[in-house]
Amino acid sequence: MADAVVLVSGGAAVTPFTDPERAAASGLAAGNTMTALRAHLLDRGIRVFTAPARIGPGEVREDAGWQGFADVPVVLPAEVTINAVGRVDDAGVALAGFLRRLAAEEGVGSVALVGHSMGGLFSRAAIRELGGAGPRIDRLVTLGTPWDGSVLGDLLDDEISEVDAHGDPATLQIFAEARPYADANSQGAADEVSRRFLREWNDAQAGVLDGIPVTAIGAGYFAAATAPVQLWPHDGLVSMTSGRADEVPSAVLPDVERHSFADHVHSIFFAEAFGLPWERALTWDPAVFAVVDDALGL
């Protein structure tokens, strides 16, 4: 078993650095993505850290947004903080620097990475950046990661359109909000979560995950149609097919175990938006955590 678990949040997420003893003192202790999973792993006696992330470059001191946090006891430098709306490879450089810091300052020799959404891509980029140096990566678990594109990226890239929504009100609402959100916030991330981009990017990652077992977990609460599979069913942001990495070549993903949660959404943000309990989110459900536990050998 790895010395520690590192939780990596996804695109546009703001997450403080936490270690097993220290977290944000007000609001959600590890941000609105990783708080519940961190608490679960701590209850299991696991040494767990969250990688700091924010919208734009800089340090993480608070999140004044929805279900945010403040009073962060440890603020790490910007160079080891993920820009969660920037390019995947740049995030990988920052995350690799964070992992090296854990090795040097916390004595962490081996790590299991658990990434939500783009956090799975950031983790893959960091593994490539480390190149076998620094802490050993024992395992990767992804929750709703766009291995093969996303609703947002494919819509912006014209791979899917409003016609593909088949009149589903929830999906049309997501489509309507996607473009202005990306225009206002993306610093490269939105362009790099399309199927077109990621298929080329994936090809360049062949060999990176050799020897690293992967567990890919997808969700598909929204299921008004069956085609195209890059959209249906989806969790609000990522299709089931993409989240499970169903169509990722074995040269890129040689050792994978896939799991599905058909009645779940991407995050508590989507749960809240569509009137669902937070436990229906991939990041908040004990049933999902049980799969993570199995993947980690707990």
Residue carrying structure tokens 């944000």: 24
Give residue-wise pLDDT tens across range 136-164: 999 999 999 999 999 999 999 999 999 99
End-to-end CA distance of the chain: 9
* Residue 182 in this model has a pLDDT that exceeds 90: no
Residues 6+ apart with CB under 8 A from 183: none
DSSP 79: G
pLDDT at 184 over 90: no
Cα angle 179-148-222, degrees, rounded to a multiple of 5: 60
**pLDDT, tens digit, 9 for 90 and up, residues 5-63:** 999 999 999 999 999 999 999 999 999 999 999 999 999 999 999 999 999 999 999 99
Tell me the angle at which helices 88-106 and 118-130 cross, rounded to the nearest 10 degrees.
60
Confidence of residue 185 (pLDDT cuts 50, 70, 90): confident
pLDDT of residue 179: 87
For the cut 90, the answer to whether the pLDDT of residue 188 exceeds it is no
Q: pLDDT tens, 89-115? A: 999 999 999 999 999 999 999 999 999
User: 3-state DSSP call for residue 9?
Assistant: coil
Note the Cα 95 to chain centre separation in Å.
13
Pairing of strands 110-116, 53-54: unpaired
For residue 181, pLDDT beyond 90: no
Q: What is the rounded distance in angstroms from the CA atom of residue 190 to the CA atom of residue 174?
A: 14
Which domains, ranges and CATH numbers included, belong to the chain?
4-296 (3.40.50.1820)
Instruction: Give the predicted TM-score (pTM) of the model.
Output: 0.97
3-state class (DSSP) for residue 76: coil
CA 70/CA 63 separation, integer angstroms = 6
Q: Position 253: which residue type?
A: L
- Is 90 exceeded by the pLDDT of residue 258? yes
| Band of residue 134 on the pLDDT scale cut at 50, 70, 90 | confident
User: What confidence tens digit (pLDDT) does each residue in 190-228 have?
Assistant: 899 999 999 999 999 999 999 999 999 999 999 999 999
* Tokens representing residue 203 in the block: 């090809």
CA–CA dist 273, 279 (Å, integer): 14
Find where tokens 């567990």 sit: 215
Q: What is the 3-state secondary structure (H, E, C) of 121-163?
A: HHHHHHHHHHCCCCCEEEEEEEECCCECECHHHHHHCCCCCHH
What mean pLDDT value characterizes the chain?
Answer: 96
From 12-26, 44-58, 172-186, 281-295, the region with the lowest mean pLDDT: 172-186
Residue-level pLDDT at 72: 98
Q: Which amino acid is at 132?
A: G
